[in-house]
Structure 1
Amino acid sequence: MSRLSSTTECRIIQHAMGKTCTPLNPQRIVTSDILSLANLIALDIKPIAAGVWSPIEGTMEIPHLANKIQGIALHSFSNQPNLEKILLLKPDLIISISLPSLRGVYKQFSQIAPTVLIPWTEISRDWKQHLKETAKVFGKTEVATQLLNGYYQRVEKLKQALGTLHKYPQNNYTQPFQASFVFVSDGLYLAQRNSFSATILNDLGLLSPKLLNNLALPISDESLPTIDSDVLFIGTYQQSDRSTLERLQRKPLWSKIKAVQQNQVYFVDFQTWYGSDFLAAHAVLDDIEKYLLKTSKLVKGSQ
């Protein structure tokens, strides 16, 4: 069990590495990752610092958190958190996602402060469940429920605006159009059914039933025309991937993609669409509203 600093009152939290006695009202929380950082902010809990990794060398930009992280110290790391920096921060609670790499430093974390590893791989990267699991640590399960209810209410309103509600009997319902997220990371990938962005598109009724139960599927240059979604959202992982995307766009096969032919290709932020946290989900909905609600030709047939 992790040690508890100064106070004797605590909340016992069971997690992947055992039990941790967490302070009831922690004041100096440190997170090891953007996912935990974002969900804490969503729950109206402000950590003093967070470890982040940015795909853009030399920066720690987090677009969907840009206006929400003032006063939070961001520390960059590549493979492992900087334990020395965390120690100097004198945290009273450390929050991390349960990834193998972070499980490996759990012992060191727990020697600095009480540490909780929030389930991630164990819950199949379910971002909604992760929010709930994070809320449990702070006794805020009702807040998480309210947040998710608000998300679903927004989804329903957007479905109505897009004309994608199930207005007909289920067996006669036909999707008016489909949307996909494609990203470039040393090659082109089509996000699949288990990916973060796909869960949101699926909630909206826009996800292609052809997608596999994976996170992402590599797409070769030759198979570009097989991307048959009506709408494509595209993000680039690193700065260098932008030149790869430009090269793909110059290929004749690019013009055979259905969404390209329909002029329905939109460039979005990779970190947001791959974000996997509650605030990123709303940022994805922001993009969908921004780009699709103005595109009336997509929804005329189903209004």
Structure 2
Amino acid sequence: MPLLVLLHPPAWGETAAGCRLLPHAMGESCVPAQPRRVAVLDTGELDMALALGVTPIAATTPYQVGQFPAYLAPAVPPASLGVVQEPDLERLLQLQPDLILGSRLRHGRLYPLLSGMAPTVFSESVGAGWAENFLLFARALDREPQAERRLAAIDAHCRRIAALHARKGHPTLSLVRSMQTHVRLYLRDSFVGSLLARCGLDRPASQAGGGFARQLASPRHIAALDGDIILLSEYAPEKGSLIRRWRDSAFWSLLGGRLYEVDDGYWMLGIGPLAAEKVLMDLERIIDDYSPR
């Protein structure tokens, strides 16, 4: 029998052993031509799969929330793999997935185990790169045209919001999230920060730089929260929310912006196109409601 010598690896889109080779953050995986049992390891991947018309067989839930984000209901997977930080690998193995989607940031250490269960495709990170991640996972699911159309619609919505923002005099938008032990100011390298940047919206000086978020632990720094429009979400407030204590302090009167409360479930936990579309709907409503003082 002649020896077959492979001079170069197959490029993306070529088949090997009945599957498609796809490069990703952890190397290269041979994914099924039509995956049918997809498992996802974070809320972003869940959002993206559902946006592409794929209902995963299982997914993780956010820590302390303990359930799938309400904005995705009723299209939620039938099986929970536990919280994002500690996925139930035994349960995952029992479910026999044919494709696993996740990220190096969250689960890079588990990649050898996961890729032994099924072809596994990882993005590098989560958050600001959500649109690139969406295209990567769309390629894994063989639904890239659908992803491109969805992103084009998001960009069109951004242009409408940018025009409205200009008519309102370019108000600055402050992104604030209250946790149990600190308050975060979200920057450009977060999901919502990147979405505001995608729409060309102005941010306060305290939030104009790169990075993921600033953390504040004392109401003495409350001026850093200020903007013409203050967008406030609370993570698992039933377990405690620091901003509620700050509201009772004398420092709260220093805020001069208009405060709008937003849904943490998709503003902060979504990290995908379905969440982005809902955030943009909120932004359009909020900016339209805003009147310069």
Identity %: 27
Cα deviation, 1:157-207, whole Å, max 9, x if unaligned, reads 2333x2426xxxxxxxx9531111101121122111222212222233332
Cα distance in 2 for residues equivalent to 1:28 and 1:47: 7
SS of alignment partner, residue 289 of structure 2:
coil
How far residue 138 of structure 1 moved from its aligned partner, in angstroms, is: 2.6
Structure 2: gaps of 5 or more residues: 1-15
Are 1:139 and 2:142 an aligned pair?
yes
Question: Is 1:14–1:20's contact at 8 Å kept on the other side of the alignment?
Answer: yes
What is aligned with 1:213?
210
Question: Is 1:28–1:91's contact at 8 Å kept on the other side of the alignment?
Answer: yes
TM-score of the pair, normalised by structure 2: 0.84
What is aligned with 2:161?
158
What is aligned with 2:236?
238
Question: Is 1:164–1:205's contact at 8 Å kept on the other side of the alignment?
Answer: no
SS of alignment partner, residue 166 of structure 2:
coil
The amino acid across from 2:174 in the alignment is S
Cα distance in 1 for residues equivalent to 2:67 and 2:249: 33
Alignment CA distance shift 1:78-1:33 (3 Å): closer
Q: How does 1:141-290 map to 2 (within 5 A)?
A: 141-160=144-163, 162-164=164-166, 175-185=169-179, 186-208=181-203, 210=205, 211-219=208-216, 220-239=218-237, 242-259=240-257, 264-274=258-268, 275-290=270-285
More moved, 182-191 vs 198-207: 198-207
Cα distance in 1 for residues equivalent to 2:204 and 2:254: 21
What is aligned with 1:98?
104
Cα distance in 2 for residues equivalent to 1:103 and 1:176: 41
Cα distance in 2 for residues equivalent to 1:131 and 1:267: 27
Are 1:75 and 2:81 an aligned pair?
yes
Task: Please point out which of 32, 37, 41 is paired with 1:28.
Answer: 37
How far residue 53 of structure 1 moved from its aligned partner, in angstroms, is: 2.3
Cα distance in 2 for residues equivalent to 1:176 and 1:78: 37
Cα distance in 2 for residues equivalent to 1:256 and 1:156: 33
Cα distance in 2 for residues equivalent to 1:51 and 1:246: 29
Cα deviation, 1:89-124, whole Å, max 9, x if unaligned, reads 11111111222x512111211222222212326xx8
SS of alignment partner, residue 258 of structure 1:
coil
What is aligned with 2:69?
62
Cα deviation, 1:257-294, whole Å, max 9, x if unaligned, reads 111xxxx2111222322232111111211222333323
Cα distance in 2 for residues equivalent to 1:241 and 1:215: 24
SS of alignment partner, residue 117 of structure 1:
strand
More moved, 178-187 vs 77-86: 77-86
The amino acid across from 2:114 in the alignment is F
Q: How many residues are treated as equivalent by the alignment?
A: 273
What is aligned with 2:24?
15
Question: Is 1:97–1:117's contact at 8 Å kept on the other side of the alignment?
Answer: yes
What is aligned with 2:12?
none
The amino acid across from 1:92 in the alignment is D
Cα distance in 2 for residues equivalent to 1:88 and 1:24: 22
What is aligned with 2:114?
109
How far residue 10 of structure 1 moved from its aligned partner, in angstroms, is: 0.4
Alignment CA distance shift 1:163-1:31 (3 Å): closer
